[in-house]
Amino acid sequence: MNFLITGAAGFLGSALANYLVGEGHQVRGLDDLSAGNREALSPEVIFTRGDVNDRPKLWTLLQDVDCVYHLAARVSVPESVLYPREYNAVNVGGTVALMEAMRDVGVRRVVFISSGAVYGRQESQPLREDMLPRPASPYAVSKLAAEYYVHTIGALWGIETVVLRVFNAYGEGQHLPPAHPPVIPYFLYQATHGGTLVIHGDGSQTRDYVYVQDVVRAMVAAATAPEVNRQIINVGSGVETSVAELAVMVLNLTGNRAQIVYNPRASGGVPRMRADLTLAERKLGYKPSVTLEEGLRLTLERDARFHTAKASLSSPMV
């Protein structure tokens, strides 16, 4: 098959692109490299640097494409609070531009990568796709708005649409920005470099951590699965782990005795998150295969940054 991946040089985009070319597919990648890494992509990926709002460029890249994976987005929750207009322009406006270009060229299916963040604070767990979303940040709002655009435009223009709400993905190659890094690479980096693990809140907040290769398997299945048109499907591990438990697990795996420091003045976010995977199993044949402990071990083994890099990082996002 011929694929276009927007956000191809990002964490999930590069993992997906490299897997697909390894399976013999043709993959075109688009990324503005504002956060992505071109070096993370296999040389076999046909890469173009550019903006997802550039419709003429999209028209060229979409020629003869069977399916689009749309991952291009701004993804920092704290940053979205400061710059909601930019998050709307990229995450919502870029999605609309892509859907318009797909209509013009005649591409059949899009797999949109959304986020478990759209659920926000819910009264019960696990989180099901039929729950009323309660987004609590401009980032989550932008992802939910993009979901509605994908669904509505797809129905109006006859484009098959699949929305995957990915929970807390982690693994080798995950972007590690100096400010507000994701919690798992932050903990691994600090533990392997003699740093301190800072936990926001009391550490009891839970998240559903899912290994990158499990996410890739779900994305691959969504491109060809039957009876998934207009579906919203969770992708996670189905297991909730508290941030405090995660910190202890990281220290045990690394053999480090770094200090764990709690910052009670900072919000730990929503109290609980766990994905209901019933629909993912039924529609995609998806079952997560990598436990959190195994995934952390694989990440440590495969990502050289946790053994050689040195930098000063702020406390994490969860």
CA triple 172-173-179, angle to 5 deg: 115
Q: CA–CA separation, 149 vs 145, rounded Å?
A: 6
Side-chain-side CA neighbours of 106 within 13 Å: the count stands at: 2
**What's the chain's length in residues?**
318
The catalytically annotated residue of 69, 87, 119, 139 is 139
Q: DSSP string spanning the chain?
A: -EEEEETTTSHHHHHHHHHHHHTT-EEEEEE--SS--GGGS-TTSEEEE--TT-HHHHHHHTTT-SEEEE------HHHHHH-HHHHIIIIIIHHHHHHHHHHHHT--EEEEEEEGGGG-S-SSSSBPTTSPP---SHHHHHHHHHHHHHHHHHHHHT-EEEEEEE-EEE-TT----SSS-BHHHHHHHHHHTT--EEEETTS--EE-EEEHHHHHHHHHHHHH-SS-TTEEEEES-S--EEHHHHHHHHHHHHT--PPEEEETTS---SS---B--HHHHHHH-------HHHHHHHHHHH-THHHH------PPB-
Q: Are 138 and 78 in contact (CB under 8 A)?
A: no
Question: Is 87 a residue of the active site?
Answer: no
Which of the residues are catalytic? 139
